[in-house]
């Protein structure tokens, strides 16, 4: 799952990305949803991360001093034919200069649209937090790639139970990643209120309470070791099952759900879609005042092509 947030300038974007690196483990722990590989348990909350790590130019990005530093690296890769353009750099977080956005790519795809909305609001709040710190001239803390990669690995392995390093405070003992998520929530909640996404952000606490996608899949699997039931649970949680489709039988019955005392899936999906549409509308309004970085690029080739890898 990729989340784009507009930022009004390349130098700010570089420093915001540096700040976001400390949150890679949190984002992966919240979204981890791939505990299986070819139908077998892996012992990982996110096996996708291990598969994707085999690709070049993946994983956490390096820390850049400024936009010129970034453009010089991308230009070298282009001039030597290693990449056609910057979209063939598949870091966990990357700049998207043509769109004028920061693109957060570390997350697994999540099963429930409600979770996608919550994680998008979480990313949005973090970007606003670091953007305003940059505007005030405050230093944005960043940490060595080895350290942020270690926390990311722990999140991929253990999900929301991951014991990670608290890099922001330098504590000697590791702490549960969920504890850092709650602390981050306190930092970004005022920003979410300003953005109008505070209700969506509440979904993060729901993820912490009920577990991420990996937790849900493993609970179903451990009941009787049947991967088919896992696939069925995932399918039922998606929009297709929620709104009903001839290919999957008759639509769910609101009356039956009400009688059973459970929320109707179509209602849940509809509310989540409305929340997602609201986030998009707010993003577009903010984007209207945030120019892309095109005129500020230092390498001509970055202006000319834009692919769209997964």
Distances (CA, A) of 124 to 196, 198, 286: 11, 11, 12
Domains and CATH numbers, the chain: 3-304 (3.30.590.20)
Distance CA 59, CA 217 (A): 25
- pLDDT score for 246: 37
pTM: 0.79
Range from 104-108, 171-175, 241-245 carrying the lowest mean pLDDT? 241-245
Return the DSSP state at 124.
H
Look at strands 58-59 and 90-91 and give their pairing: parallel
**CA 200 to chain CA mean position, Å:** 14
Distance CA 283, CA 202 (A): 19
Question: Please, which residues have CB within 8 angstroms of residue 59's CB and are 6 or more apart in sequence?
Answer: 53, 91, 92, 149, 152
For 246-285, the pLDDT digits (tens) are 333 333 444 444 444 545 444 555 555 555 555 555 545 5
Average pLDDT score over residue span 173-179: 96
Whether 88 and 307 have beta carbons less than 8 Å apart is answered as: yes
**Banded pLDDT at 5 (limits 50, 70, 90):** very high
For 62-96, the pLDDT digits (tens) are 999 999 999 999 999 999 999 999 999 999 999 99
Range from 183-187, 285-289, 296-300 carrying the lowest mean pLDDT? 296-300
Return the DSSP state at 249.
S
């Amino acid at each position: 799952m990729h989340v784009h947030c507009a930022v009004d300038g390349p130098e700010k974007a570089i420093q915001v990305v540096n700040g976001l690196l400390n949150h890679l483990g949190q984002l992966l722990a919240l979204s981890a949803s791939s505990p299986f590989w070819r139908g077998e348990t892996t012992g990982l909350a996110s096996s996708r991360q291990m598969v994707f790590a085999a690709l070049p130019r993946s994983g956490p990005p390096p820390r850049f001093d400024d936009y010129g530093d970034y453009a010089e690296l991308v230009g070298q890769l282009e001039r030597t034919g290693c990449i056609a353009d910057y979209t063939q750099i598949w870091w966990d977080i990357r700049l998207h200069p043509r769109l004028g956005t920061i693109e957060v790519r570390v997350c697994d795809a999540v099963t429930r649209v409600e979770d996608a909305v919550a994680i998008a609001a979480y990313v949005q709040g973090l970007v606003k937090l670091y953007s305003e710190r940059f505007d005030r001239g405050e230093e944005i803390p960043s940490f060595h790639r080895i350290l942020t990669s270690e926390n990311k690995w722990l999140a991929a392995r253990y999900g929301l139970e991951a014991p990670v390093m608290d890099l922001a405070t330098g504590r000697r003992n590791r702490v549960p990643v969920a504890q850092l998520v709650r602390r981050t929530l306190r930092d970004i909640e005022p920003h979410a209120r300003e953005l109008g996404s505070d209700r969506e952000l509440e979904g993060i606490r729901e993820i912490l309470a009920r577990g991420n996608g990996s937790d849900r899949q493993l609970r179903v699997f451990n009941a009787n070791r049947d991967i088919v039931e896992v696939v069925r649970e995932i399918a039922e949680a998606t929009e297709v099952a929620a709104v009903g489709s001839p290919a999957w039988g008759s639509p769910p019955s609101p009356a039956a759900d009400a009688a059973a005392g459970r929320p109707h899936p179509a209602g849940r999906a509809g509310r989540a879609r409305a929340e997602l549409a609201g986030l998009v509308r707010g993003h577009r309004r903010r984007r209207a005042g945030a120019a892309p970085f095109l005129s500020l690029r230092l390498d001509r080739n970055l202006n000319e092509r834009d692919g769209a890898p997964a």
